[in-house]
Amino acid sequence: MSLLNISELKKSFLSPGGEAHAVVDVPSFSLGEKEQVALSGESGSGKTTFLNLIAGIIRADSGSIRIGETELTSLKESKRDRVRASEIGYIFQTFNLLQGFTCLENVLLGMSFGAKADRDVAKKLLERVGLSDRMSHFPRQLSTGQQQRVAVARALASRPRLVLADEPTGNLDHQNARDALALIRETCDETGAALLLVSHDRAVLEAFEVCRDLKEINIARREEAAV
């Protein structure tokens, strides 16, 4: 059974000249429960926009995004926020940790807007990602690898059904990238969350059983290339 079903999804932005510029045009895409899929795509291929549409951060021009039984595109922004808070975990390339908050507080914030923030759960997640001795540290006091671990713990804090990862290893060295990727996949496995990861790093993509090229899914870019 599919967790994520996308059909006829379109999003365009206005160029400075006032012309509509299609960024996402996905006729069909689906992701099963607990499935882990990697999408390959170069910079400017619409990866982030695609993930932001799924996360409900931006609104589609048309089409359908269904997460479980919920049709995201028909929801008001506040409802989309609620779906994002409770159903979706988001891991960013630049981690996007809040610098004024400790590691533990960052993880707590990951569960604060959906369910009730549970300190014990947050601590267990940080222990799981190997940061039990860094809970009171601020992000600036951590290495980049450790920061990404906090971001992973935060993404899983609300026990989401779907984790979106946007170039999660893009800012890490080779060893840290491998560790972070393994951690993301393992923790998603453990929590039963499906994983949709986008990257242009071949080593990352090869680690997945299912890897799809975004150009095949997003025909907006294909058409643009043809032009």
Partner 1 sequence: MTLWLIVRRSLRQHLLSTFITSMSIALAGGLCLSVWTIKDQANATFTGVDSGFDAVLGARGSKLQLVLNSIFHVEASAGNLAWEDYTDIKANPSVAAAVPIAVGDNFRGYRLVGVSTNLFTEIEYKPGQRFEVYGGGRVFDPSRREAVVGSFVAQKLGLGVGDTFHPYHGLIFDEKKQHAETYVVVGVLRPSNTPSDRVIWIPLAGLQRMSGHDPKTATDLSAVLVKLRSAQAGFRLDLLYNKQGNRLTMAWPIGQIMAQLFSKISWFDRVLELIAYLVAVVAVGSVLASIYNSMNERRRDIAILRALGARRRTIVGTIILETVAISAFGMVLAFGVYFAIFTLVASVIRAEMGVVLVATQWHPVMLWAPGLMIALSAVAGLVPAFKAYRTNVADHLVPVS
Site residues, partner 1 (CB under 8 A): 41, 43-45, 47-49, 52, 55, 57-58, 77-78, 81-82, 84-86, 90, 92-94, 96-101, 105, 108-110, 112-114, 117, 154, 158, 166-167, 170, 198, 200
CB of 137 to partner 1, least distance (A): 14
Pick 32 or 146: Cβ nearer partner 1: 146
Minimum distance, C-beta of residue 9 to partner 1, in the bound complex (Å)? 16
Short-list 135, 129, 131, 127, CA closest to 106:
135
Amino acid of residue 94? T
Q: For the CB of residue 138, give the shortest distance to partner 1 in the complex, in Å.
A: 10
The one-letter amino acid at 39:
L
3-state helix/strand/coil string of 26-45? EEEEEEECCCEEEEECCCCC
CB of 1 or CB of 58, closer to partner 1: 58
Beta pairing partners, 29: 6
Nearer of residues 1 and 120 to partner 1, judged by Cβ: 120
Task: Say how many C-beta atoms besides its own lie within 10 A of residue 197's C-beta.
Answer: 28
Cβ atoms of 194 and 155 within 8 Å: the answer is no
CB of 84 to partner 1, least distance (A): 5
Q: Which residues are 32's β-sheet partners? A: 2
Rounded Cα–Cα distance for residues 26 and 220 (Å): 8
Identity of the residue, 32 or 115, whose beta carbon is nearer to partner 1 in the bound complex: 115
By C-beta, is 44 or 192 nearer to partner 1?
44
Tell me the pairing of strands 194-199 and 210-213.
Answer: unpaired
User: Can you state the angle between helices 144-156 and 119-128, rounded to 10 degrees?
Assistant: 140
Nearer CB in complex with partner 1: 66/82: 82
The C-alpha atoms of residue 176 and residue 148 are separated, in whole angstroms, by 9
SS3 20: strand
For residue 55, the minimal CB distance to partner 1 (Å) is 7
Q: How far is the CB of 155 from partner 1 (least distance, A)?
A: 9
